[in-house]
Amino acid sequence: MKPKAVKKSATKYILIALAVLFIAVMLAVPLATVLVYALRQGWDTFAAAIVDPYAIKALKLTLTAAGTTVVLNTFFGVFASWAITKFRFRGKQILTTLIDIPFAISPVIAGLVFIYVFGRIGWAYPFLQAHDIKIVFAVPGIILATIFVTFPFISRELIPLMQSSGTDEEEAAALMGAGGLRIYRKITFPHVKWGLLYGIILCTARAVGEFGAVSVVSGHLRGKTNTLPLHIEILFSEFHLTASFAVSSILVAMTVVILVLRNIVEYRVKREERSH
Amino acid sequence: MRLRKRNKVIPGFGLSMGVTISMLSLVVLIPLVSVFINLAGISFADFWKIVTDSQLVAAYKVSLTSAFIAACVNGVFGVLLAWVLTRYEFPGKRILDGFIELPFALPTAVAGIALTTLYSDKGWFGSVFAKIGIKVSYTRIGITIAMIFIGIPFVVRAIQPVLEKLDGSYEEAAEILGASRSRTFFKVIFPEILPAALTGFGLAFARCIGEYGSVVFIAGNIPWKTQIVPLMIMSKLEQFNYTAATSIALVMIVFSFVILFTINIIQSRVAKRAGGK
Amino acid sequence: MYVELKNINKTFNGFQASRDVSFGIEQGQLVGLLGPSGSGKTTILRMIAGLEYPDSGDIIINGVRVNDIPASKRGIGFVFQSYALFRYMTVYDNIAFGLEVQRSRKADIRARVAELIKLIGLEGMEKRYPHQLSGGQRQRVAFARALAPNPQLLLLDEPFAAIDAKVRRELRAWLRETINKVGITSIFVTHDQDEAIEVADEIIITNAGQVEQKGSPVEIYKHPATPFSAQFIGQSRTVENYAALNGFEHVAGFDRAIVRPEFIDVEKRGKRLMFESAAETGVVESIFFRGNLSELTINLGGTRIIANRALEAEEVAVGEEVSVLIYRLYLYNDSAVRLAENVLIRDVNTVFI
C-alpha cells in the first residue's frame, strides 16, 4: 500500500511542477517582461510614454472602437441567440455556421474584406467618394474590422445556455399572453445573465487587443487612426522599446482586470448551473 | 410563409431573425462575398501562378511546419495542464487556471513584442540560448514559440470539461480491476479525451496559421526564411497588389475550412458514440 | 359540445402526427387522451392550446373556431410535462405571472394567488423557488399557475410523468378531486392506462395519429371498439389459433384473438370443481409476486398468456402443469372486434344469472 501511495504523490508533484514550469516560462515570464521593461528607465520615462498625446489619442480610439463593438455585438448576440434557440426553422445549422465564420478566418483577412467593400477598389467606393465619407483608413473601418473579428463572441456564449434551458418556460409565458420584452426580461435574461457578462468580457478583451484586422484597415495615421496596439507596434519598430512596453502595460493592466473578472464570472456561471 | 410565420407561439421571431440576418449580412457575408467577386476577374492559370509563387510556397512551409510543431507541443502540454487542473488540489491552482486564458485576453501585439524582447540575443531567455549558439528571435524557433503561446488555451479548454465529467469513479473502477496507474491512463482515460485533444489540436493549429499580431514581431520577416502567410497578404496589400492578396486569402480560407470541417467530423463521431452508450 | 375537433390533419417534416382527427368534449368533463408514445396525443393537445397549428380541419372551443386565434387569447391553462415553472421566480411570482400580464389590480392578484396556494396546500411556501420544491409540489404550482387567470379549459401534458411512483398515486386522486372542485373542463395526455382509467371521466384512445375509440373507462375496458383498443387496454395477449382452445370455434373472418388475465381462471390439476371439460392444460413458466396477487405466465401449447392468481389460493410452482379455464376472448381482424364466450360453460352461466 505504502509504495503505491508514495508513487502516486511523486507523480502528482512532478506533474504539478511541470505544469507550473510551463505556465511560468511560456506565459508568466512574457507578462513580467512587459512590466520590467516598462519601468526599466524609471517612473518618469514610463509616465511620459503614457501621457504622450499620441498614446492618449490611441487609448481613446481603442476604447471607442471596443465600446461600439461590444454594444453592437451584444445587440446582435441577444437577437441571434433568441432566433436560433427559441424557434424551429429551416437552415438553422447553416445560420449558426455562418455566424461562426469570423472565428475561422485570419484577422488579416478580416481586415482585407473591408478594403474590398469600402477601399479604393471596393464597390461602395464611388458612393462614399461622392458623399465624402471615409471608412477605410478611418475610424469607421477600424470599428467595422473589430466588430467582424469579435462578431460571434456573445452569441456563442448565449446559444448553448439557452439551448439547454429549452423553450417550455417561454412558451408557458407566451401562452399566458406575455409579450416578448417581458418574457426576455423576466424569464430568459435571469437565466443567461452571467453567460452574457462572460461573453461581453471576452468580446471586450479581444476588441481592445485586436491587431491584425485593424492594422489592415487603419492606414497607420498617427493620432488619427492608431489604436493602442498599433501605437505599440510603431513605437517598437522605431526602437522606442521602453515607451512601447510602457504603453503595453496599460493593456496588460486591462488584461489582468479582464482575467480576474472572467474568473469570478465563470465561477458564478458554474455555481448557477449546479443550483438550477 | 404566412403559414410558417404564424406557427410561432413565442413572440419575436420576425424581429430577431431580421436583426440577425441583416447584421450578419452587413458585417460578415457581404464583405466576404465582395472579396471573391473581385477574384472572379482572373483566370485560374493566373491564380495558380500567384499562389504557387516560390516566395509564397516558402511562407506556406514556414507557417505550416511551425504551426504543426506548436500544435503538437500544445497537445502534450494541454493534456498535462488539463489533467493537473482537474485532478489535483494545490495552492495557487486558481491563479494557474486563470493564466491559461492569458493568450486569449492579452493583446497580440503586446504578446508579440514581449516574446521578441524576451528571446532576442539580449533578452532573459534569448541570452541563455545565445550562449549555446541558438538564435530564437527572428528564426522559425521564435515563430514556433509565439505559436505555442497563442495556442495553449485551445487545447486545455477543450480537454478540461471532458476530464471534469470523467469523475474519479471511472479511474477507481479501472484500479479495482487491477489496472496499473499508467495503464489506466493510457487505456481508459486517454481514449476518452483523445477526441477533445484532437479538437483542441485542430483549433490551435488553425489559429496558429492565421495568427498575425503575436508572430509577426518575433518572425523578423526575412523572405524565404521567416515570412508567414498572413504577412504575405499584408505585404501584397502594401504593394496594392489586391489580386494577389485575395488569392492568398482564398487559399487560407479554404485551408481553415478544411481544418474546421475535420474537427466537426471528429465531434459528430464522438456525439454518435456518446449517444450509443 | 364544448371543445370540438373536426377532421384535423397535421404533418411534421413528412411524419403524419394527426390523421383526420375528430372528437367532441362536453363541458365540465375530465378527459384523458391515451395512447402509446408517438401516437399523436401530445400534438392534439398542443393544437388545442395553439402551440401548434393544424394543416387542415377546425378546432372549436365554446362555439368559436379558434384556428386563427393566438394561443394567449384562447382562454386556456396549460400544464407542461416538465411543468416549465419559471425557475428564477418564487412560487408566488409564478402563480401571479398570468394575472400580472393581464394587468389585474395588485390586491386582486394577491387575493387570487392566496386562494390558489390554499387550494394546492402550499401555504407558507410562497417565497420558495422551484428548485426548492419536491416534484409533487412543483406539479401543484404548475397547476395553480395555469388556473390563475381563470381559463375556460385546462390542458395537462403527461401531468404525472415526472413524479415518482409512490407520490403519483396520491397526486392522481388529488388532481381529480381538485379539478372536480374547480369544475373546469380539462384534457390530459397520458401513455399510462391505469392513470387514464383512474382519473378520467372519459378516455380517447389514439394510435398512429388517429382516434381509435372514445368512451368512459368502463366502456373502453369492456367493449373495445377496435383491434388496437382491445390490445392496448389491459394486460392483453394475442392467441393465434384460438379455435384449438376448448370451448371456442373458429368464426369466419376472425383469425386472431385477445385474452386478458381477468378472462382466465387457473387451478391446480385435479382440483377444478366444475367445467373441467372446458379447461386447457398449460405449464407455468414464471411467477411474479405483484403485491396483492401473483401474476403467472402460462405456456398454453406454445402460446404465452398471463393469468392472475389470488395469494390465498394454493401455491403453484414454476414448471407445474395447471388447469386453465378461459371464459371469453376478443376475436379481432384488421378492422373489427367481437366477443366470444366459452360455449362449454355458457349454459351454466345463464343459470347463475
- Most confident of the following: A59-68, C253-262, C324-333: A59-68
Q: Which residue of C12, C51, C56, C67 is the best one to mutate when testing the B interface, meaning the one whose CB has the most B CBs within 10 A?
A: C51
CATH 2.60.120.1360 fits B43-276, yes or no: no
Question: Could you tell me if C322 and C266 are in contact, meaning their C-beta atoms sit under 8 angstroms apart?
Answer: yes
* H or E stretch at C31: strand C30-34
Please state the rounded mean pLDDT for residues B159-179. Answer: 76
| C-alpha to C-alpha distance for C183 and C181, rounded to whole angstroms | 5
Q: Over 80: is that where the pLDDT of C254 sits?
A: yes
- What's the CA gap between A186 and C86, in Å, rounded? 9
Determine the residue of chain A that is closest to B1 in CA distance: A89
Do residue B27 and residue A245 have CB atoms under 8 angstroms apart? no
pLDDT mean over B149-165: 91
Do C291 and C217 lie in one domain? The reply is no
What would the mean pLDDT of C110-120 be, rounded to a whole number?
95
Q: Is the same domain home to C144 and C269?
A: no
Specify if C232 maps to a domain.
no
**Distances, alpha carbon C100 to alpha carbons A184, C97, C145, in Å:** 15, 5, 12
Asked whether A97 and B260 are in contact (CB, 8 A), the reply is no
The three cell numbers locating residue B85: 487542473
Q: Which residue has the higher pLDDT, C90 or B9?
A: C90
Note the pLDDT of residue A268.
81
Q: What share of chain B is helix, strand, coil (3-state, %, to 5)?
A: 80, 0, 20
C330 & C253 share domain: yes
Residue B173: all three cell numbers together = 473502477
Amino acid A276: pLDDT:
61
DSSP class of residue C251 equals B
What does the alpha-carbon distance between residue C159 and residue C170 come to, in Å, rounded to a whole number? 13
Contact residues, chain C, for A187 at CB < 8 Å = 86, 88
Pick among A20, A86, A112 to test the B interface (most B CBs inside 10 A): A112
Q: Are strands C64-65 and C56-61 parallel, antiparallel or unpaired?
A: antiparallel
Residue A240 DSSP code: -
Q: Which of C225, C245, C262 is the last residue of a domain?
A: C225
- Does residue C34 lie within any of the structural domains? yes
Under 8 Å between Cβ of C27 and C201: no
Distance from CA of B31 to the nearest CA of A (A): 5
What is the identity of the amino acid at A37? Y
C141 to chain B, closest Cα gap in Å:
22
The C-alpha cell that represents A166 in the structure block: 429549452
Distance CA C268, CA C265 (A): 10
User: Over the stretch C160-194, which tens digit does the pLDDT of each residue have?
Assistant: 887 888 888 888 989 999 999 999 999 999 999 88
Can you tell me the distance from the alpha carbon of B12 to that of B131, in angstroms, rounded to the nearest whole number? 66
What does the pLDDT average to over B1-17?
A: 69
- Please state, for a pLDDT cut of 70, what percent of chain C lies above it: 98
Average pLDDT over residues C316-321: 90
Nearest CB partner across the interface for B9, out of A11, A174, A210: A174
Q: Tens place of pLDDT for every residue, chain A, 276 residues?
A: 445 555 667 888 999 999 999 999 999 999 999 999 999 988 999 999 999 999 999 999 999 999 999 999 999 999 999 999 999 888 888 898 899 889 888 999 999 999 889 988 888 899 999 999 988 889 999 999 999 999 999 998 899 889 888 899 999 999 998 999 999 999 999 999 999 998 999 899 999 999 999 999 987 666 678 899 999 999 999 999 999 999 999 999 999 998 899 888 888 877 777 766
Distance CA A23, CA A32 (A): 12
Work out how many CB contacts closer than 8 A connect A with B.
274
- For residues C205 and C287, membership in a common domain is answered with no
Residue C89 has pLDDT above 60, yes or no: yes
Q: What is the CATH number of the domain that holds C70?
A: 3.40.50.300
Q: State whether residue C234 is helix, strand or coil.
A: coil
pLDDT band at B70 (very low <50, low <70, confident <90, very high): very high
The answer as to whether C324 is a domain residue is yes
Angstrom CA distances, B69 to A131, B116, B205, B223, B224, stand at 50, 19, 9, 21, 19
At C234, list the grid cell: 389491459
In this structure, are strands C64-65 and C337-341 parallel, antiparallel, or unpaired? unpaired
* Arithmetic mean of pLDDT over chain C: 89
Q: How far apart are CA A235 and CA A48, in angstroms?
A: 13
What is the band of B2 on the pLDDT scale with cuts at 50, 70, 90? very low
CB C126 within 8 A of CB C92: yes
Q: Report whether A229 contacts B108 (CB < 8 A).
A: yes
∠ CA C86-C90-C92, nearest 5°, is 105
Tell me how long chain A is: 276
Whether the predicted pLDDT of B81 surpasses 50: yes
* Residue-range domain boundaries for chain B: 1-40, 43-276
pLDDT of residue C38: 86
Are residues C211 and C264 located together in one domain of the fold?
Answer: no
How much is the pLDDT for B1?
31
Q: Which domain holds residue C102?
A: 3-225
Q: Give the lowest-confidence range in A171-180, C111-120, C239-248.
A: C239-248
Amino acid C112: pLDDT: 96
Q: Are A117 and A140 in contact (CB under 8 A)?
A: no
C-beta pairs of B188-196 under 8 Å, 24+ apart in sequence: B189/B163, B192/B162, B192/B166, B193/B79, B193/B82, B193/B159, B193/B162, B193/B163, B193/B166, B195/B266, B195/B267, B195/B269, B195/B270, B196/B158, B196/B159, B196/B161, B196/B162
Q: Of chain C residues 69-88, which have a CB less than 8 A from chain B?
A: 70-71
Of C165, C197, C225, which one is at a domain's C-terminal end? C225
Q: Are B256 and B206 a contacting pair, CB within 8 Å?
A: yes
Q: List Cα–Cα distances, B192 to A81, B271, C333, in angstroms.
A: 30, 12, 53
Task: Give alpha helix (H) positions in chain C.
Answer: 41-49, 91-101, 106-119, 135-147, 165-182, 193-199, 217-222, 227-232, 343-352
Domain assignment present for residue C230? The answer is no
Domain identity same for C203 and C345: no
ipTM score assigned to the predicted complex: 0.89
C211 and C253 in a common domain: no
Chains touching chain B through at least 3 C-beta pairs below 8 angstroms are: A, C
Looking at the complex, report in whole angstroms how far the Cα of residue B275 sits from the nearest Cα belonging to chain C: 20
Contact C52 B6 (CB under 8 A): no
End-to-end CA distance of chain C: 39
Q: Tell whether C207 and C256 lie within a shared domain.
A: no
Measured CA to CA, the distance from residue C208 to residue C350 in angstroms comes to 40
Instruction: Enter the pTM of the model.
Output: 0.85
**Euclidean distance between CA atoms A111 and C244, whole angstroms:** 85
Angle between helix A241-275 and A29-38 (nearest 10): 140
Query: Quick one: pLDDT at residue C311?
Result: 84
The residue type at C102: Q
Q: How far apart are CA B215 and CA C229, in angstroms?
A: 72
Angle, helices A241-275 vs B93-100, to 10°: value is 110
Which residues fall within 8 angstroms of residue A104, CB to CB, at 6 or more apart? B206, B253, B256, B257, B260
Interchain proximity A180–B12, CB inside 8 Å = yes
Helices B242-276 and B190-210 pack at an angle, to 10 degrees, of 170
Out of A175, A177, A190, closest to residue C88 by CB: A190
B136 CB neighbour count, 10 Å cutoff: 24
Specify whether C147 is located in the same domain as C242: no
Instruction: Quick: pLDDT tens for C39-77.
Output: 999 999 999 999 889 999 999 999 999 998 988 889 999
**What is the 3 state secondary structure string of B190-216?**
HHHHHHHHHHHHHHHHHHHHHCCHHHH
Mean pLDDT (chain B) is: 87
Q: Smallest Cα–Cα separation from B188: which of B202, B177, B201?
A: B177
C220, C251: one domain: no
- Whichever domain contains C264, its CATH number is 2.40.50.140
Contacts of B11 in chain C (CB under 8 A): none
| Amino acid letter, A190 | P
Q: Is A187 on the interface with C (CB under 8 A)?
A: yes
End of a domain among C165, C193, C225? C225
Question: Between A79, A115, A251, which is nearest B16 by CB?
Answer: A79
Rounded to a whole number of angstroms, the distance between the first and last alpha carbons of chain B is 40
CB contact under 8 A, A104 and B256: yes
In the three-class reduction of DSSP (H, G, I as helix; E, B as strand; rest coil), residue A93 is classed as helix
pLDDT value at C273 more than 80 = no
The pLDDT of residue B163 is above 70: yes
Residues counted in chain B: 277
DSSP conformational letter for C294: E
Closest CA to C228 of C46, C43, C34, C42: C34
Question: Based on the structure, what is the number of domains in chain C?
Answer: 2
Q: Is there a single domain that holds both residue C209 and residue C246?
A: no
Q: Which residues of A touch C76 (CB under 8 A)?
A: 175
Rg (Cα) of chain B, in Å, rounded? 23
Q: Which amino acid is at B56?
A: L
Which chain C residue shows the shortest CA-CA distance from A187?
A: C86
Please state, in angstroms and rounded to a whole number, the distance separating the CA atoms of residues C190 and C156. 9
pLDDT per residue over C206-233, tens digit each?
A: 999 999 999 999 999 888 889 999 888 8
How many other β-carbons are positioned within 10 Å of the β-carbon of residue C75?
15
